[in-house]
């Protein structure tokens, strides 16, 4: 049985809390640091060594993009969002994700524009990564913030002039471009994005070895516009892991309430004039969290305390009253397996997997009932009400 260890740090004093949060900012050693500053006449080769195999980078535009400040910023934004800093979760930067997606696309010989789109896919994420999709609401789009802002963001940070050297525009590398079928597909269909995230998390949580990842990648194909496996075993491994992380990581109610509370803290900090929207959109996790920690505001401090010990301030209601129903995004994968020239879904081949897949999807459709708690009167935080911090005042409308 796959297990994911949740570690919750505890402490009693406010000063210890500050130390606790700061201690989780770890600089990650990177697999690649290219020195090119722009396209050069004489190409030089570099090799990226990754979980998904080694690829040779001989395109100087790719090297220039990797070394651009906007991509380097992603080294300091974690895919897990605020929970990375309030729980001892393994580091997983957007930079590592971007390079991982690029490696997968290059390994499977996708066109250069799709490779670039894969590398740049997460670039418009705000601080705390996917948490921004909860917090930042685009003024004139129904897309998640980081996708709605993508083209505008590339122009703002000065990446479009580099793209134009390859006769590409910001719109040409939009990850939602319909021709990028290897890069982006909504679950349960496979995509380079979901493959990378699932395998990276599985390795980080010691659920897969490098040898097992190599076997999965060796059994994976992209042909005729679709991802598929040539063995059911590898398909089942990837599918099972996707259900696991959908339930325990992406869709975990603990992560949801922490995201809500940090969003509410940022919204209040913006309203107080101590944090700017620009810092949220273009800054890094550590700087914003440190600013929140040092704001002398009881509400913001209370929200961060709640993030540190979330189970004191919320519970999942099985029966009885509840404050809201949380409906997580279902990210379970249903890989194709090719047999005798036919593409067959894993749920058609593995009845046990089909049952687990459908049960989790149905539970997400029904939603998770959240009950917010008030702190005990003798806790020192009697002036705070957990429920009020998860109310409506956490969204921020942005235009770009």
The verdict on 33 and 148 lying in the same domain is yes
Among 157, 184, 211, identify where a domain stops.
184
The verdict on 169 and 47 lying in the same domain is yes
More confident: 380 or 369: 369
pLDDT (mean) for 241-256: 96
The verdict on 301 and 156 lying in the same domain is no
For the cut 60, the answer to whether the pLDDT of residue 139 exceeds it is yes
191, part of any domain: no
Q: Residue 178 belongs to a domain with what CATH number?
A: 1.10.3210.10
229, part of any domain: no
- Dist CA 118 CA 97 (whole Å): 10
The verdict on 178 and 269 lying in the same domain is no
Q: Give the pLDDT score at 375.
A: 64
139, part of any domain: yes
pLDDT above 70 covers a percentage of the chain that reads 84
> Is 56 buried (19+), middle (13-18) or exposed (0-12) by CB count in 10 A?
exposed
Neighbours of 300 (CB within 10 A): 26
330: which DSSP letter? P
Q: Give the pLDDT score at 19.
A: 38
pLDDT (mean) for 120-148: 91
Among 159, 184, 209, identify where a domain stops.
184
106, part of any domain: yes
378, part of any domain: yes
Q: Give the pLDDT score at 100.
A: 98
The verdict on 302 and 386 lying in the same domain is yes
Helices (H), 75-141: 83-86, 94-107, 112-120, 131-135
For the cut 80, the answer to whether the pLDDT of residue 1 exceeds it is no
pLDDT (mean) for 238-266: 95
Helix, strand or coil for residue 171?
helix
The verdict on 31 and 175 lying in the same domain is yes
- Dist CA 65 CA 88 (whole Å): 31
353, part of any domain: no
Could you tell me if 119 and 97 are in contact, meaning their C-beta atoms sit under 8 angstroms apart?
no
Structure pTM?
A: 0.86
Tokens of 273: 């004039």
- Dist CA 34 CA 46 (whole Å): 8
The verdict on 30 and 179 lying in the same domain is yes
For residue 47, which phi and psi values (nearest 5 degrees)?
-120, 130
Among 184, 203, 227, identify where a domain stops.
184
The boundaries of the domain holding residue 259 are 253-328+367-400
178, part of any domain: yes
The verdict on 30 and 178 lying in the same domain is yes
The verdict on 89 and 169 lying in the same domain is yes
Q: Give the pLDDT score at 10.
A: 36
For the cut 60, the answer to whether the pLDDT of residue 289 exceeds it is yes
Share the mean pLDDT of the chain.
86
Tokens of 261: 């509370």
Q: Give the pLDDT score at 43.
A: 54
Q: Give the contacts of 78 (CB within 8 A, at least 6 positions apart).
A: 84, 85, 91, 92, 93, 94, 128, 129, 285
Could you tell me if 103 and 55 are in contact, meaning their C-beta atoms sit under 8 angstroms apart?
yes
The verdict on 92 and 176 lying in the same domain is yes
21 pLDDT band, cuts 50/70/90, is very low
Q: How far is CA 154 from the centre of its chain?
A: 19
Domain tally for the chain?
2
More confident: 335 or 135: 335
For the cut 70, the answer to whether the pLDDT of residue 31 exceeds it is no
113, part of any domain: yes
pLDDT (mean) for 261-270: 92
């Amino acid at each position: 049985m796959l297990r994911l260890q949740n570690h919750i740090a505890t402490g009693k004093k406010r000063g210890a809390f500050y130390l606790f949060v700061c201690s989780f900012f770890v600089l990650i050693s990177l697999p690649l640091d290219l020195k090119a500053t722009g396209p050069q006449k004489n190409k030089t080769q570099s090799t990226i060594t990754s979980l998904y195999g080694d690829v040779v980078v001989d395109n100087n535009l790719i090297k220039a993009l990797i070394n651009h400040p906007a991509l380097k910023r992603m080294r300091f934004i974690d895919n897990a969002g605020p929970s990375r800093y309030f729980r001892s979760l393994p580091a997983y930067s957007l930079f590592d994700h971007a390079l991982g997606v690029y490696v997968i696309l290059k390994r499977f010989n996708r066109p250069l524009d799709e490779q670039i789109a894969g590398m740049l896919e997460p670039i418009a994420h705000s601080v705390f990564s996917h948490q921004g999709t909860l917090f930042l609401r685009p003024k004139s789009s129904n897309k998640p913030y980081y996708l709605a802002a993508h083209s505008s963001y590339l122009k703002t940070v000065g990446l479009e002039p580099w793209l134009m050297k390859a006769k590409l525009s910001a719109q040409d590398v939009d990850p939602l471009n319909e021709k990028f079928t290897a890069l982006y597909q909504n679950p349960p269909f496979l995509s380079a994005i979901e493959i990378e995230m699932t395998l990276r998390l599985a390795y980080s949580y010691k659920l897969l070895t490098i040898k097992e990842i190599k076997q999965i990648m060796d059994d994976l194909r992209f042909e005729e516009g679709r991802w598929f496996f040539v063995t059911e075993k590898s398909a089942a491994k990837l599918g099972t892991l996707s259900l696991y992380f959908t339930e325990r990581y992406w869709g975990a109610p603990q992560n949801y309430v922490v995201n809500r509370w940090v969003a509410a803290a940022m919204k209040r900090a913006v309203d107080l004039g101590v944090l700017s929207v620009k810092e949220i959109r273009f800054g890094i996790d550590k700087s914003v969290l440190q600013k929140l920690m040092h704001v002398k505001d009881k509400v913001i401090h209370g929200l961060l305390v709640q993030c540190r010990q979330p189970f004191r301030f919320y519970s999942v209601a099985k029966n009885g009253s509840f404050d809201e129903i949380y409906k997580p995004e279902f990210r379970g994968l249903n890989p194709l397996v090719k047999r005798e020239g036919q593409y067959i879904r894993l749920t058609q081949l593995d009845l046990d997997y089909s049952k687990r897949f459908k049960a989790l999807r149905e539970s997400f459709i029904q939603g998770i009932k959240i009950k917010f708690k008030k702190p005990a009167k003798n806790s020192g935080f009697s002036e705070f009400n957990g429920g009020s911090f998860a109310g409506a005042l956490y969204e921020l409308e942005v235009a770009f």
